Structure 1
């Protein structure tokens, strides 16, 4: 009798049909080019070699299959360094930009080595491609498959997380450095890290010089399949492949998923004035959206736009996503400027774009989380209308409404309630559940949480652009002094506002995303566009973990509460109707006087009563009824508990106006609400009470 043998991780991977594929007998090189007249493979012995040790011409008759150039080189093994070189027409007016002297990065290169070089002929040599063998002992590691509704995302920069000397790690600024800080991530309680771009991007400019303003964030891709070599601790060619896998494996062992921020909207080749490094020199008119056949459409704001709905490019993106999922065990993706994927080959936004639908329906990506930044740099804004039920979205409306409410902006009471309840106005009409909303108040792009309450205006002078870069619409405040202050009254209100916004974020229906460092009051000194600041402005200052331990404790307790409470991470929308035969609705809203709320009232003060979910959604009966009180006015107010909860015992869980440690009770054992049901609410504060037993 034949016994079924399970597919182990060592046996299962994903082999792309293009690029360099090693085998026992040699390496197969395959590259797409429809219009090239000649193709060459350049092989190098060492990373610093300026000239190839061997040049192999593809034979047009035997090595070209349709529009694919493919040849096998016997004896070549993993670690081999190479470039492609293509000859063809130089006809910019027709979209062709072939340069027979250009050394080209393989679009499917799975690792790069070295940096830009300039030869004696003055020509630029980009980093070399590396032949990669993906053998790795995953020791049974698999995707964690955590339900989206149970996810807490931590947006993080790999280098910045441990590059500061204050991190006190052996491998600072690297994938291995992240591993050393996993105990901290576990203690915080987050369930997923969302890594800012880790696919290859330029370290130096095309002329070999150090960039005057380095692209620290990494939103400037040059090789989508390759982990960034700059984040490897070892300088050996291909070391980044192994170290990245070690990081993913270690995070999974800690129960933390890995989501990648991917940039399938432009490349570092720029417009017609930019260098020819890869795509331009292989099939420019296919890889980029062009107007009038020659000019680069700039929907990305970065000089060019990837032609994502061209079948060839669409295929490349699919192979790339599968590659990261099955060769690196990645759990999900956040798509930067994802609305570009909704544009056709002419740049027009189209309904039901094939690229967006296919990503959602691809069976090989079925275990992954897919998140859209549902806008682009050319005016498209698709928050609430991007894709189908599989797509989640960065909810920019949540950010703006939460900021506006806590700043005290008029007309934000209703919008804040809608965001707190899961943004049904954006997602329910399309049959998308609350967890399609990725709720955030800060992200890498903009002020940190600490700066949001410390600056009215951006201070980006260090970027060298005369403070003209970065968004001017920050919905921020400084509460009396711009920047740091020793005035205790201002420091106190800032601390409260940080807690108000983090609490709101972590008790809202949907999926919360925290930016790395917000839990310790990391500051960028008012810089809201620190894309080029590879220094202390951007790096995580680990001294703050001790200095602001009270806030870290506060955030960790909120995360643990969220993970334990199905009441605030529902899979269905709150309706305002009773559930499970209870006489009370699943959500109800009240004014400070305890009576039903009038939404047109002037004061930004309200109480939300959220009932525990049905037994269908909470079979273990862990959910508790919650009373949340919000006072965003500048006055101290008396709130009255609504009569709906009369007879129950209510324990205080959060009081953002109280000094630590009385600002939060991790075991939900805070003081019981007074018998007269009158709650003193300080100005700009929030309180949460939890029913100490399940209510029938």
Structure 2
């Protein structure tokens, strides 16, 4: 009988067909270029070398196979540094921008090393590519395969999470620094971290005069297959590969999935004025969407647009996704400006775009979560219509409606109810379940939760763009004073509003996404576009964990309740019909008086009665009925329990108007309200009651 032998260390579980591949006798270098007339390999001895130690020409007759240039170099090994260099036509009028002097990043490079090098003529040379072995002992690690409907996502910046001195870690701002803070993530209870871009990007902005501006967020990719070198503690070329894998393995051991924010919509090469670093110098007219064959289409808002539905680029994206999933054990992806993947090679939006369907159907990605930011910078807004049931979406409508309701905007009563119930108006068609809605109120892009209730206007002067950058439509309020204040009435309102929005987010049907630091009131001082703020404006301030420990406890308790309570994370939509023979519908809506709600009323006050799910959806019978009372008005109100709830026993779970610890009862065992009497609901407050067991 044959016995299976475990393989503790794999070089690569998935080997893309291009790039630098280590073989027994050396390294095979392969790169695509259809229009190049010559190709060279530049080999370097040291990361800071300005000139190569050796230049090897590809032989057109023996080293070119179709449109692929492939060359075997003996006696090379892991750690070898290299660039490509291509000759070809300089004909921008038909899309060719070859420069035989440009040093080019391998599009399939597994790692980069070093910094940009400025030349006297103004040309910028990119970091060097690194030949990577990839051997790593995963110790049996596998994808966690948590059901999407049971997820609580935590959007996080790798560097910013531990860079502050307040983090008190050995390896600040790195993959290893994240490992040191895993106990915090475990204590909070999130099930997945969604990492802002971790593939390679310029540490400084590479466009023109902005070279000295920090590129903090990382939404400017240049090597899709490479973990960002800037987040490695060990500065040895290629060390970021090992350290990234150590982080993923450690997060998995803690039961936390890893989702990557990927940017397959543009590159850092910019438009006609941008540098030639990789794609431009290899096959510009294939990798980018061009207008009239020469001008860069700018659907990304970043100068160029990746030609994602061209077969060659599509193949590269698929190899890249598989590479991260099988070589780095990544559990899912969030696709930045994903609507660009719905554009054809001429930039037109098309129905059933092949790229979107193929990602959903790829068998090698079947275990992964796929999440779309379903819009782009050129007006495409596809929230509710991006892809099929495999695709989840950042629900921008949820963000706007939740903010508007709690700010007190008229006409948002029905909108809030729809979002709370799972956004069936957006996702029920095409058999898309509630977990297709990734619910969010804040993201990296915009105000933090603290700033959402502290500022009416953006304050982005520190970005150096005269406050012109960033969104002007924030749906925020300061409640009387712009920025920090000690006025008691204002601080009380802000405290409530933060809890109101976080409570709504974590008790809504769908999948909640929390932004790192919102649970402790991280502030960016009113900056709603901190893309270039690699400093205390953006970094996680660990002093706030203790300062705002009551809010941390509130959020932690909500997450724990959500994970064990199937009533708030159904896999099917609420219908308003009775469940399992009960006379109580799965959801009912009431006015403060306890009678049926009239949706055209202007007053933003209502109750939701959400019944426990059926035994089909809740075989262990863990679900309990909830009554949620919302008062978004500026006046105190009295609520009456509706008739369907009067024959039951209830415990208080959440009361955002109460001071901690009475703002939340982690075991949902708070004092039972007097059902026959009016329930007081102070202004700007949320109260949640749970049926007694």
TM-score by length of 2: 0.99
Q: Which runs of 5+ in 1 are unaligned?
A: none
1:203 positional shift:
1.5
Whether 1:581 aligns to 2:581 is yes
1:10 positional shift:
3.0
Aligned counterpart, 1:508: 508
Aligned counterpart, 1:98: 98
611 and 7 in structure 1: CA distance in 2 versus 1, 3 angstrom threshold: farther
Aligned counterpart, 2:261: 261
Whether 1:613 aligns to 2:610 is no
What is the number of residues matched between the two proteins?
Answer: 693
Alpha carbons 1:203, 1:210 under 8 Å: kept: no
Write the mapping of 1:180-195 to structure 2, written as runs, cut at 5 A. 180-195=180-195
- 1:583-632 deviations in Å (ceiling 9; x for gaps): 11000000000001111112100000000000011000000000000000
Aligned counterpart, 1:298: 298
- 1:243-267 deviations in Å (ceiling 9; x for gaps): 0000000000000000000000000
Write the mapping of 1:585-604 to structure 2, written as runs, cut at 5 A. 585-604=585-604
Q: How far apart are the structure 1 equivalents of 2:452 and 2:480? A: 13
1:17 positional shift:
0.1
Q: How far apart are the structure 2 equivalents of 1:282 and 1:88? A: 9
Alpha carbons 1:116, 1:205 under 8 Å: kept: no
Aligned counterpart, 2:212: 212
1:215 positional shift:
1.4
Write the mapping of 1:337-376 to structure 2, written as runs, cut at 5 A. 337-376=337-376
Whether 1:68 aligns to 2:87 is no
- 1:117-159 deviations in Å (ceiling 9; x for gaps): 1356764321000001111000000000000000000000000
Alpha carbons 2:205, 2:215 under 8 Å: kept: no
Q: How far apart are the structure 2 equivalents of 1:276 and 1:12? A: 30
Q: How far apart are the structure 2 equivalents of 1:214 and 1:320? A: 26
Q: How far apart are the structure 1 equivalents of 2:62 and 2:10? A: 34
Task: Out of 206-215 and 478-487, give the one that drifted further.
Answer: 206-215
Q: How far apart are the structure 2 equivalents of 1:573 and 1:663? A: 29
1:205 positional shift:
4.9
Aligned counterpart, 1:682: 682
Alpha carbons 2:566, 2:613 under 8 Å: kept: yes
Alpha carbons 2:207, 2:270 under 8 Å: kept: no
1:581 positional shift:
1.0
Q: Which runs of 5+ in 2 are unaligned?
A: none
Task: Out of 277-286 and 640-649, give the one that drifted further.
Answer: 640-649
Aligned counterpart, 1:421: 421
Q: How far apart are the structure 2 equivalents of 1:504 and 1:371? A: 21
Alpha carbons 1:167, 1:542 under 8 Å: kept: yes
Aligned counterpart, 1:244: 244
12 and 227 in structure 1: CA distance in 2 versus 1, 3 angstrom threshold: closer
- 1:14-50 deviations in Å (ceiling 9; x for gaps): 1010000112211110000000000000000000111
97 and 665 in structure 1: CA distance in 2 versus 1, 3 angstrom threshold: same
Q: How far apart are the structure 1 equivalents of 2:209 and 2:572? A: 54
Q: How far apart are the structure 2 equivalents of 1:598 and 1:209? A: 58
Write the mapping of 1:143-222 to structure 2, written as runs, cut at 5 A. 143-206=143-206, 211-222=211-222
658 and 131 in structure 1: CA distance in 2 versus 1, 3 angstrom threshold: same
Q: How far apart are the structure 1 equivalents of 2:445 and 2:168? A: 27
Whether 1:459 aligns to 2:459 is yes
Q: How far apart are the structure 2 equivalents of 1:299 and 1:689? A: 47
Alpha carbons 1:50, 1:119 under 8 Å: kept: no
- 1:161-188 deviations in Å (ceiling 9; x for gaps): 0000000001000000000000000000
Task: Out of 309-318 and 642-651, give the one that drifted further.
Answer: 642-651
Q: How far apart are the structure 2 equivalents of 1:627 and 1:679? A: 12
Q: How far apart are the structure 2 equivalents of 1:83 and 1:208? A: 22
Aligned counterpart, 2:321: 321
Q: How far apart are the structure 2 equivalents of 1:209 and 1:455? A: 31
146 and 161 in structure 1: CA distance in 2 versus 1, 3 angstrom threshold: same
Aligned counterpart, 2:486: 486
Aligned counterpart, 1:632: 632
Q: SS in structure 1 opposite 2:136?
A: coil
Q: SS in structure 1 opposite 2:497?
A: helix
Alpha carbons 1:439, 1:512 under 8 Å: kept: yes
Alpha carbons 2:637, 2:680 under 8 Å: kept: yes
Aligned counterpart, 2:391: 391
Q: How far apart are the structure 1 equivalents of 2:661 and 2:122? A: 64
Whether 1:568 aligns to 2:604 is no
Q: How far apart are the structure 1 equivalents of 2:9 and 2:340? A: 34
1:234 positional shift:
1.1
Q: How far apart are the structure 2 equivalents of 1:438 and 1:550? A: 26
Q: How far apart are the structure 2 equivalents of 1:442 and 1:456? A: 15
Q: How far apart are the structure 1 equivalents of 2:179 and 2:265? A: 30
